[in-house]
Amino acid sequence: MADGGEAAAPDGVQRLAAVCAHLEEIRADLREGPGGDGGPVERVLAAARNGGDVAGTLSVLHAVLQASGDPLGLDGYTDHTGSTRGLQPAGISNTGISNTRAEFVYLCPAGRCARYWWPQATAPVPQCAISSTVLRRERL
């Protein structure tokens, strides 16, 4: 039987979020890799901006990252986005929003990826790598 793991179309928005949030790291890793250039990630950006084959370019990028020595590929970057804490909008409930929780979350302005960012007092709002605009503030 075919193994469905890698063959299934990956959830593109999750991997796109990794690109959106870690573009500079990914570019640096690609330049240091055997290919020596950021072509694979630039093609992902171009596809995302122009409505091209995002899933296809993402899986190429993923494979290139793996080939350059990172067995997790793009999924390794996804881990760093804090997906283990707080993606579940725990603050949104009928009982009201806790005072200690953020009232806003910042989302990808292009709406193309699953990136989100919690406000931090000491950090400026990051930019979306795909649309080159600041993340969009959304009320919880």
Residue 86 CA, distance from chain mean position: 16
Could you tell me the CA-to-CA distances from 103 to 61, 90, 99, 119 in Å, in that order?
35, 11, 8, 9
Nearer to Zn ion, 68 or 127 (CB): 127
The span from the CA of 131 to the CA of 44, in Å, is 12
Closest Cα partner for 18 from 129, 140, 134, 135? 129
Q: Is 41 in the site for Zn ion (CB under 5 A)?
A: no
Instruction: Among 38, 108, 116, 117, indicate the residue that binds Zn ion (CB under 5 A).
Output: 108
Give the contact letters, 111-140, x = binds to Zn ion (CB under 5 A), - = no: --x-x------------x-x----------
State the nearest-atom distance from the C-beta of 130 to Zn ion, in Å: 5
Closest Cα partner for 12 from 79, 80, 112? 112
Nearer to Zn ion, 15 or 62 (CB): 15
Q: Is 58 in the site for Zn ion (CB under 5 A)?
A: no
**E strands of 23-120, at which residues?**
104-107, 116-117
Stretch that binds Zn ion, among 27-35, 45-53, 93-101, 106-114 (CB under 5 A): 106-114
- Residues forming contacts to Zn ion in the complex (CB under 5 A) are 20, 108, 113, 115, 128, 130
